Chains A and B, each alone.
Chain A
């Protein structure tokens, strides 16, 4: 469509002019607040209190959200906000992974705060345009866009009736519309959802960046928790920012030289070691597909199994050799030498509204390959790429889609739901056509796709209440907790990872803790206390990235050559020091590792209490489905009989000889559930929480977040 015509049909609802600012040691010191109910735009100061207590990024998001909502606010009410914030380090260009935005909102899946981190250029450009955060509240009447011109200091709210909704089209249209010419396109960044976000609860946000080599607008995703659903419910079509003249020193760092030195050292490390370690520059996170399979950790057919002979059809080398363009700089922000944002170019779509189009598919990341692939029994690289593409452009989270579809497939295969319920669809594992049709239905808002799009939590209720399914069995096999679908690792044999998923704030997402290798493969954390220490340190350490606008992958996907000789290789001590050096370089703040953990603990505990305020966040909400702990069905037990029999004998002292599978499974279950409870006790204790999972007043005092409104929530739960 003619871009001029699209623009001519915009109707200006509000224009707001502001003074361009200068970033000082990583902070713009202002937030942009936009209310799209009444078209109010204003600036808010970022206070020293906010910086001291919440640092930035997710910390600011949680703080603004806390102040915007009440305990009864739900995701689709005007009070709910979408907050996008980078963090003080966000926007430097010398170290890898420094362009992340953290997006916070009340989730349609969980009814509690969700935080999702995303690359692309919006976060850094927002800061250079003058703002540490963008806070969007209210609901518009008609489809609107919000445009921030960081070159001239103008913010507008405009009705935009004619533009597309799907991410890959809308991203291109708006990049073209707001860029002066081809060279200017990289100075425009767009946030979109997609048509699927309108009809599901797991809608995502696409954050664009323009790729000057491919001449394509690339998409990165704030995937988890349904923020795209909130976005479309607000009738937001897109957010656009423009800022030209990005340079390497716009953060006005306290000491640029330290950042340069640390960054160059890291770039050299990637140059020298990537091809010897994980091949992140060749295939990104998908390098671990076959590794997960080899260790029995790849979710197969709704997490029933951890490996499959057909994994070789979707192993990383298949994508490298046949689909993913090699040798092109693929960072999602300037200076990311890890360059994991891989893409398949010239991929011809076989289904749906864009059938026959040759497109650039952003991915596959590991989670996509596992969620859309093995977990749904789809061992077809082109099927995975097609699902990946449509999830992105429709604005649908690949993880929730994959896990929810896998659940629906298992229900279908077990006869819990039938063809009548699926509207004629044969929803067997491995049926790519069915999976992709579900996705197209989510885009169109029709058929069984809409049911799957409500997420596992809602499906379980529906299947039990309407179709007479056994709710206990659905609880066992439905891989969700707090309403959020599990991400794509099989945690059955790693107690620590069961805790890594279950004892989270937002729900089972591996970004808070990924301990499978430490626990299961390397056996580095054998006791409850060891596991509890890991489930304290790592979630806090990982939270910290989100406070500063950082990506976690450069921390441990490639490690220094001598890392294995350090005292704690799992922590990658040299890289931790790099981060402390970079933060010092940007802000002038000299942090120790303890300070770092304490900064995270403030935000983490605040989020925990926010959950409690919204009606979750207690021990009962940390319960996990048994499928994530052990074998639910006889088939699962049989598939690992030797392992399970051995464990019964050696760990539990139960002789498996002459016992029925049911008897053995019952003993195994009792043992494993008890282990999880013991782990929960140990972790709560280590985190400074009582046995109900509530942060103690003493701990809040230690952290300096014993504000009256926080204490009010927990004082009667001590």
Chain B
């Protein structure tokens, strides 16, 4: 599956990634509306972004979250009911929410931020499908 990989030791906290993300998806430079967020912990940079684990898929009551052909976890905003359980249940705290919108948002591995990163702290990568955390419903209900 395609995901945005990171090497936090290379991050210089320039904020380019946050800017390109929020501008692309919300037409504004506002880090609160960016899927990727650069924070600091114990004086070191921390890059918070979805790793496409898919834990949120089983949380959604209306199955608005699913994995696409490339393995990217995406939200169907048309059927999302805005409960934000996926936000509260994301172990990595990478599902985003902003009060101007009634649906959550997340990184969809578009890679635009990686292109803007001057230090190669973030980059597109692939990982094995076996790392996907969601249930296989066919198997669960085949018993």
Binary A-proximity of B130-141 (CB < 8 A = 1, otherwise 0) = 000001010011
Interface string of B74-105 (1 = CB under 8 A from A): 00000111111101110100000101001100
Cβ of B60 within 8 Å of any chain A Cβ, yes or no, is yes
**Shortest Cβ distance from B88 into chain A, in angstroms?**
2
Asked whether, in the complex, the Cβ of A270 is within 8 Å of the Cβ of B88, the reply is yes
Contact A248 B82, beta carbon cutoff 8 Å:
yes
A247→B143 contact, CB < 8 A = no
Contact of B81 among A214, A256, A334 (CB under 8 A): A334
Q: Does B118 contact A (CB under 8 A)?
A: no
CA distance A263 to B103 in the complex (A): 14
**B46 CB-CB contact with A under 8 Å:** no
CB-based contact A248/B102 at 8 Å: yes
Q: Which of A249, A328, A335 contacts B85 (CB 8 A)?
A: A335
CB distance from A582 to the nearest CB of B (A): 13
- Measured between beta carbons, the chain B residues less than 8 angstroms from A266 are 88
Query: Closest CB-CB distance, B58 to chain A, in whole Å?
Result: 6
B84 touching A271 by the CB < 8 A rule? no
Is A260 in the interface zone, CB < 8 Å from B? Answer: yes
**With A328-B135, A346-B143 known to touch, is A334 a contact of B102 (CB < 8 Å)?**
no
Instruction: Using known A-B contacts A267-B84, A270-B88, determine if residue A327 contacts B102 with beta carbons closer than 8 Å.
Output: no
Residues on A with beta carbons closer than 8 Å to the beta carbon of B97: 260, 264
In the bound assembly, the distance between CA atoms of A572 and B97 in angstroms comes to 27
Say yes or no: is A543 at the interface (Cβ < 8 Å to chain B): no
Q: Given the complex, which residues of B lie within 8 Å of A213, measured CB to CB?
A: 63, 137, 141
Partner of A212, one of B58, B62, B82, B140: B62
CA distance A289 to B79 in the complex (A): 38
Determine which of B60, B87, B88, B143 lies in contact with A329 in the assembled complex, contact meaning CB atoms within 8 Å: B60
Q: Which chain A residues numbered 228 to 272 have a C-beta less than 8 Å away from chain B?
A: 246-249, 256-257, 260, 263-271
Which one of B58, B59, B82, B141 lies within 8 Å of A94 (CB-CB)? B82
* A214-B141, A325-B140, A328-B135 known; A260-B62 Cβ under 8 A: no
Instruction: Collect the chain A residues with CB atoms within 8 Å of residue B102's CB.
Output: 247-249, 256
Q: Bound complex: CA of A257 vs CA of B82, how far in Å?
A: 12
B81 cross-chain contacts in A, Cβ below 8 A: 93, 246-248, 334-335
Task: Assess whether B84 is in contact with A260, with CB atoms less than 8 Å apart.
Answer: yes
In the docked arrangement, what's the CA distance between A214 and B142, Å?
10
A533 on the interface (CB 8 Å rule)? no
B141 to chain A, nearest CB (A): 6
Contact check, B84 vs A263: say whether CB atoms are below 8 A apart.
yes
Closest chain B residue, CB of each to CB of A215: B141
Is the beta-carbon distance between A264 and B88 smaller than 8 angstroms? yes
Write out, one digit per residue, whether chain A residues 180-205 have a CB within 8 A of any chain B CB (1) or not (0): 00010010000000000000000000
Size of interface on A: residues with Cβ below 8 Å to B: 34
Interface presence of A331 (CB below 8 A): yes
Query: A336 to B97, alpha carbons, bound, how many Å?
Result: 18
| Per-residue B-contact encoding for A317-360, CB less than 8 Å = 1, 0 else | 00000000101110100111100000001100000000000000
* Cα-based distance from A281 to B1 in the complex (angstroms): 29
B84 touches A345 (CB 8 A): no
Instruction: Find residues 646-684 in chain A having any chain B CB closer than 8 Å to their own CB.
Output: none
Nearest Cβ in chain A — how far from B35, in angstroms? 17
Closest B residue, CB atoms, query A325:
B140
**Residues in A whose Cβ lies below 8 Å from that of B135:** 327-328
Residue of B nearest to A271 (CB): B89
- Name the CB-closest residue of A to B60: A329
Docked-complex contact A264 and B62, CB < 8 angstroms: no
Q: Which chain B residues lie closer than 8 Å to A269 at the CB level? A: 88
CB of B141 within 8 A of CB of A345, answer yes
Instruction: With both chains docked as a complex, state the minimum distance between the C-beta of A16 and any C-beta of chain B, in angstroms.
Output: 29
**In the assembled complex, how far is the CB of residue B137 from the closest CB belonging to chain A, in whole angstroms?**
6
- Which residues on B sit within 8 Å (CB–CB) of A94? 82-84
Measured CB to CB, the nearest residue on chain B to A266 is B88
In the assembled complex, the Cα of A247 lies from the Cα of B82 at a distance in Å of 6
With CB as the reference atom, state the residue of chain B lying closest to A358. B143
B residues less than 8 Å from A331 (CB atoms): 61
B140:A328 contact, CB within 8 angstroms: yes
CA distance in complex: A93, B85 (Å): 9
- Do B58 and A328 touch across chains, with their CB atoms under 8 A apart? yes
A21 to B121: give the CA distance in the assembly, Å. Answer: 52
Given A256-B99, A328-B140, A329-B61, A267 contacting B82 (CB threshold 8 A):
no
Which of A265, A327, A328, A337 is in CB contact (< 8 Å) with B89? Answer: A337
A436 to B102, CA, bound (A): 48
Knowing A93-B81, A247-B102, A260-B97, say if A267 contacts B62 (CB, 8 Å): no
In the complex, residue of chain A having the shortest beta-carbon distance to the beta carbon of B143: A346
For A271, what are the chain B residues with a Cβ–Cβ distance below 8 Å?
A: 88-89, 91
Say yes or no: B62 contacts A334, CB within 8 Å.
yes
| A186–B84 touching, CB < 8 Å | no
Provide the bound-state CA to CA distance between A159 and B104, in Å: 44
Tell me whether A93 and B63 are in contact in the complex, defined as CB-CB below 8 angstroms, given that A248-B102, A257-B99 are known contacts. Answer: no
Nearest A residue (CB) for B78: A245
When C-beta atoms are compared, the residue in chain A nearest to B137 turns out to be A213
A630 to chain B, nearest CB (A): 46
User: Given A249-B102, A325-B140, A345-B143, are A212 and B63 neighbors across the interface (CB < 8 Å)?
Assistant: yes
Residues of A within 8 A of B84 (CB): 94, 248, 260, 263-264, 267, 335
The distance in angstroms between the C-alpha atoms of A336 and B58, with both chains bound, is: 13
Name the CB-closest residue of B to A263: B84
* B103 (CB) vs chain A CBs: closest residue: A248
22 pairs across A/B with beta carbons < 8 Å?
A: A93-B83, A213-B141, A246-B81, A248-B82, A249-B82, A249-B102, A256-B102, A264-B84, A265-B88, A267-B84, A267-B85, A267-B87, A271-B91, A328-B58, A328-B135, A334-B61, A334-B83, A335-B61, A335-B83, A337-B85, A345-B141, A345-B143
The 6 closest A-B pairs by CB, nearest first: A248-B82, A267-B88, A335-B83, A257-B99, A93-B83, A268-B88
Beyond contacts A267-B84, A334-B61, A335-B84: 10 other A-B pairs, Cβ-Cβ < 8 A, are A93-B83, A212-B62, A212-B63, A214-B141, A247-B82, A248-B80, A256-B102, A268-B89, A334-B81, A337-B59
